[in-house]
């Protein structure tokens, strides 16, 4: 069989391959930098002031302070708070809820077999409705938490795993552009400057500041496991354009129990009426029943 002549490499083709390789190397380096770069230093100004037992069935996933109507009790979520009607339809996990300053209370739900997420909304008058979001390309099905902006118009939502973004939606019910009969669309994205892992809850403490509870078991991103994170946004989310988020690890959440093993950091809430920050930490093993806690902090 005669040998085929070798293809000649033109200078232009070689240059293109070199450029592509350089671009790929830059992209890989950028992703690695987000995960490995040390977080910026920030003063941890939150002082632990007490704790309350967290019931493993009804207070183990999340919590929210509700301003409207006045003198409303704090709300909690857990496997025992999922209505039977939702569970039989496949919405078998509820995450960390939030309430708008106008009185809309929102719980995030996920289904293991659905290509969508659901947000269960209670209006200030007490009526419930459901808003469904169809997953976008590359979007994880997990629906771990919601955080409503102080102007009530936009809602952040988080995915499980190692992420460099939060999703932004119009707040179902509170934003006039939403309807239970229409798909709830993603409006924009918060792009984080440092990777985060297994965020279980976030809440706004101001128009451009979030505090988040991370269940990170590895500790490789910030040098500590189960960190309390602060996210400083470049601008208040408005749904029309992406914003960036500067991530800082403030401290490790309390990990105290009569049992040894793996703790689970859960939901978080900031009550602006009292300035109290609350975070749920579920104890390991049998002690999930006895000494899981909602820890309380105030700004020092």
Q: Compute the distance between CA of residue 148 and CA of residue 284 in angstroms, rounded to an integer.
A: 30
Peptide linkage before 68 cis (omega within 30 of 0): no
Q: How confident is the model at residue 49 (pLDDT cuts 50, 70, 90)?
A: very high
pLDDT at position 42 is: 53
pTM (predicted TM-score): 0.86
- Average pLDDT of the residues in 248-258: 98
pLDDT at position 261 is: 97
Provide the b/e sequence for 226-262 (b: ≥16 CB within 10 Å): bbbbbbbbeeebebeeebebbbbbbebbbeebeeeee
Q: How confident is the model at residue 113 (pLDDT cuts 50, 70, 90)?
A: confident
In terms of C-beta density within 10 A (0-12 exposed, 13-18 middle, 19 or more buried), how is residue 275 classed? exposed
Residue 204 has pLDDT above 80, yes or no: yes
Report helix, strand and coil shares of the chain as percent, to nearest 5.
10, 40, 50
Structural domains in the chain, CATH included, are 44-299 (2.120.10)
């Amino acid at each position: 069989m005669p040998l085929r002549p070798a293809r000649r490499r033109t200078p232009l083709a070689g240059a293109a391959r070199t450029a592509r390789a350089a671009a790929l190397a830059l992209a890989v380096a950028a992703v690695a930098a987000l995960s490995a770069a040390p977080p910026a230093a920030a003063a941890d100004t939150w002082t632990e002031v007490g704790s309350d037992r967290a019931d493993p069935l009804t207070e183990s996933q999340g919590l929210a302070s509700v301003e409207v109507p006045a003198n409303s009790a704090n709300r909690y979520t857990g496997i025992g708070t999922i209505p039977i009607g939702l569970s039989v339809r496949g919405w078998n996990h509820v995450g960390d809820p939030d309430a708008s300053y106008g009185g809309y209370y929102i719980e995030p739900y996920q289904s293991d077999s659905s290509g969508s997420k659901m947000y269960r909304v209670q209006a200030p008058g007490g009526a419930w409705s459901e808003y469904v979001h169809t997953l976008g390309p590359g979007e994880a099905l997990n629906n771990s938490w919601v955080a409503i902006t102080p102007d009530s118009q936009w809602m952040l939502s988080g995915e499980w795993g190692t992420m460099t973004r939060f999703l932004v939606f119009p707040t179902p019910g509170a934003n006039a552009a939403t309807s239970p009969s229409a798909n709830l669309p993603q409006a924009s994205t918060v792009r984080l400057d440092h990777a985060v892992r297994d965020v279980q809850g976030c809440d706004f403490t101001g128009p451009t500041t979030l505090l988040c509870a991370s269940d990170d078991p590895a500790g490789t991103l910030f040098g500590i496991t189960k960190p309390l994170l602060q996210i400083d946004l470049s601008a208040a989310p408005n749904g029309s354009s992406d914003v960036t988020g500067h991530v800082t690890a403030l401290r490790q959440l309390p990990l105290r129990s009569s049992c040894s093993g793996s703790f689970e950091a859960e939901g978080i809430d900031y009550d602006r009426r009292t300035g109290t920050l609350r975070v749920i930490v579920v104890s390991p093993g049998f002690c999930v029943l006895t000494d899981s806690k909602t820890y309380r902090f105030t700004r020092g």
